Amino acid sequence: MPRRGQGGLRENARNAFPSPVPLIPAAIGLSTLILVPTFGATSAAPAPQVHTLANGVTVLTVSMPQLASASVAIFVRAGSRDEAADKTGVSHFLEHMAFKGTATRSVQAINLAAESLGADMNAYTDKDATCYYLEGLGQHTPQMLALLADIVLESTFPADEIEREREVILQECTEYEEDPQQLSFTLLDEALWGQHPMGRPIIGTPQTIAAITRQDLVDHVKKHYVGDRIVVAAAGNFDVDAYLAQAESLFAGVPSAGRYSAPETPRHFGHAKARRLPGVSQTYVNVAWPAASRGADAHLANLAATLFGGGMSAPLVDAVRERLGLAYSVGATADVGDVHGALVIDATTTPDKVPAFTRELSRLMAVQAEGISATDLARAKNQLLVSLVRTAERPLRLLQRCVEQLWTSGGVFDLHEAIARVNRIEADTVRQAFEEMLAWPAATVLVGAGATLKNARELQALMGKR
């Protein structure tokens, strides 16, 4: 799912709940109090339902009758980590091409079919998944599902459209290469995971994009767009029984391929990378350590990231930006998947401040490894709890969360259980997570002004001295 995690959300806790949260007297100790969400009679936590077709296709439904809208999505458990080195970018290329024509619709007809409903149609490719979705009115759920099924199952990949889209993707690739922040994240993946498929860019490289053929797209569909890897999902105000019947009618013919086996956890390398960019006067710094995957602990990495750098009062942001003025932009997020996890620090500063920033980052990480502040832990838990509640109120985000859990544990997302799990995480568990991170070399990336490999390695070494 969308990467760089959910750490760092800054929300107004009281505005996130359907019913007001009572104000708490200051004498109770607000800074260490854990909020408890309350739900009105008509806005209880949604209950996802899972149905499996004979061929292994999963149909996921979440009824949210209080809404007027609905989101319909098809998730495929295949992304860039499933590609051969010489086919890097084929998942993303396919995601683009799915909208370029089917057996019964031209690209123009596809666009008009969605926009005539007033619906938002889009897709994304990640390391471990590809998703196609429509967001519109609940009453149009049947039309949205039929359109998505046509796009995902019946795309024809016209030769002329492939060449046009190849040029678009190459332009997109150039844009990423010229965007210092995007480039820094791309290099960070390589610094984290080395030559493992997790370390390759989702979009591909100019060389692999130029070489992808129509047969590559067809082969990718045959291999990965199969029963046990597909989830047909909907959340919102719609007729669940009718949706189940329609989903079975549309997807019963998808070939089955046996039980999916998740890949092994990629090895952490912790390399140093650097790239100068002409015309960029600032330095983009990315640092990362391995962290708990979603499969190991669904919430620990996000809680650690939120605690450390997920808000203006978090230790990283407060020290680096508010107290020392070492960076205008700085934060921490968790990049987590079913078998991988990383705590990611990103900052934008001037070249002269990079060494001081690095020393302060190293000091702050060591502080967390020694002990976790009760105030910071309570704040981070409250931010994460509000994020979970708001996720449950947003149909598409809720579907993403449900599929993440389904693919990780085989179970369905339960908001109350998720809240309980976050609340059960103890301070020493978080402290130990930081201690374990620091046992690894930090993946270190510099992009922009003053970015040299020598500097990146010196900073990496500096962070190893505590």
**Both tokens of residue 4?**
């760089």
The predicted model gives 64-78 an average pLDDT of 97
DSSP three-state, residue 385: helix
- Does the pLDDT value for residue 125 go beyond 70? yes
Q: Do 341 and 301 touch, CB atoms closer than 8 A?
A: yes
pLDDT of residue 462: 86
- Does the pLDDT value for residue 171 go beyond 60? yes
- Does the pLDDT value for residue 46 go beyond 90? no
Q: Do 74 and 133 touch, CB atoms closer than 8 A?
A: yes
Q: Do 273 and 285 touch, CB atoms closer than 8 A?
A: no
The predicted model gives 408-421 an average pLDDT of 92
Contacts 24+ apart (CB under 8 A), 454-457: 455/274, 455/354, 456/272, 456/273, 456/274, 457/272
- Does the pLDDT value for residue 3 go beyond 60? no
In degrees, rounded to 5, the angle at the alpha carbon of residue 206 between the alpha carbons of residues 442 and 168 is: 115
Per-residue model confidence as pLDDT tens digits over 251-297: 999 999 877 777 888 889 899 999 999 999 999 999 999 999 999 99
Confidence (pTM):
0.90
The predicted model gives 164-187 an average pLDDT of 96
* pLDDT band at 39; cut points 50, 70, 90: low
The strand ranges marked E within 197-279 are: 230-236, 272-275
**What is d(CA 285, CA 450) in angstroms, rounded to the nearest whole number?**
11
- Does the pLDDT value for residue 35 go beyond 90? no
The conformational region for residue 320 under phi > 0 = left, psi -120 to 50 = alpha, else beta, is: alpha
- Does the pLDDT value for residue 99 go beyond 60? yes
DSSP per residue, 90-122 = HHHHHHHHTTS-BSS--HHHHHHHHHTTT-EEE
- Does the pLDDT value for residue 75 go beyond 90? yes
Per-residue model confidence as pLDDT tens digits over 128-160: 999 999 999 999 999 999 999 999 999 999 999
- Does the pLDDT value for residue 21 go beyond 50? no
The predicted model gives 98-119 an average pLDDT of 97
Q: Do 64 and 235 touch, CB atoms closer than 8 A?
A: yes
pLDDT of residue 262: 75
Per-residue model confidence as pLDDT tens digits over 374-405: 999 999 999 999 999 999 999 999 999 999 99
Place of tokens 């495929």: 76
Supply the mean pLDDT for the chain. 90
Q: Do 172 and 270 touch, CB atoms closer than 8 A?
A: no
- Structural domains of the chain, with CATH: 57-251 (3.30.830.10), 271-463 (3.30.830.10)
**What Å distances lie between residue 193 and 29, 235, 267, 271, CA to CA?**
43, 35, 6, 9
Question: Residue 447: phi, psi to the nearest 5?
Answer: -135, 135
